Amino acid sequence: MFVTHTLAPFYKKDSKVLILGSMPSIKSRELGFYYAHPRNRFWWVLEKVYNEKIGNDTQSKIDFLTKHHIALFDVIKSCDINSSDDTSIKNVTLNNLTPILKNSNIKVIMTTGNKAYTLYKKYLEKETNIKAIPLPSTSPANNKKDILELLEKKYKIIKTYTDN
């Protein structure tokens, strides 16, 4: 199925870290915000990293991101995709990151999952001139053994860029 990205990038003028996914899941597009699937562990991991509770509503997530200078967007503007399966992505058109980078204080770009990292590195890194730091996917499809410990350990890097 052909899908177009429907979420606006989330960033503020003082955002320091840009976290890029591949394409919002069906549930995220339906609910209108990033990582909205109830089984996606993105918000859970950030709660652990910052030792701070984040409410389930969008405004609580926005407040958290703003407080910690985190911006969110995705690499893909449109693509063919089966359900929300990154491994099925084909015929990709990429998002333009220039407005975010020009209108914020982004110093670091991180990607969630292999597809986002691969596409960013291949097509967008030369435009942004910022190397991405790859992070594991928080998707419920990524259910490897000990994933929660791995996620928490890897995502701690975000805090090093947002707390100074």
Mean pLDDT confidence for 100-107: 97
Between 109 and 85, where is the model more confident? 109
Instruction: Please check the confidence at residue 149 and state whether its pLDDT lies above 80.
Output: no
pLDDT, mean over the chain: 92
How do residues 120-136 score in pLDDT, each as one tens digit? 999 999 999 999 999 99
Instruction: Please check the confidence at residue 96 and state whether its pLDDT lies above 70.
Output: yes
pTM of the complete model: 0.93
Instruction: Please check the confidence at residue 147 and state whether its pLDDT lies above 80.
Output: no
Domains annotated for the chain, with CATH where assigned, are 2-162 (3.40.470.10)
Instruction: Please check the confidence at residue 141 and state whether its pLDDT lies above 80.
Output: no
As a three-state string, the secondary structure of the chain is: CEEECCCCCECCCCCCEEEEECCCCHHHHHHCCCCCCCCCCHHHHHHHHHCCCCCCCHHHHHHHHHHCCEEEEECEEEEECCCCCHHHCEEEEECCCHHHHHCCCCCEEEEECHHHHHHHHHHHHHHHCCCEEEECCCCCCCCCCCHHHHHHHHHHHHHHHHCC
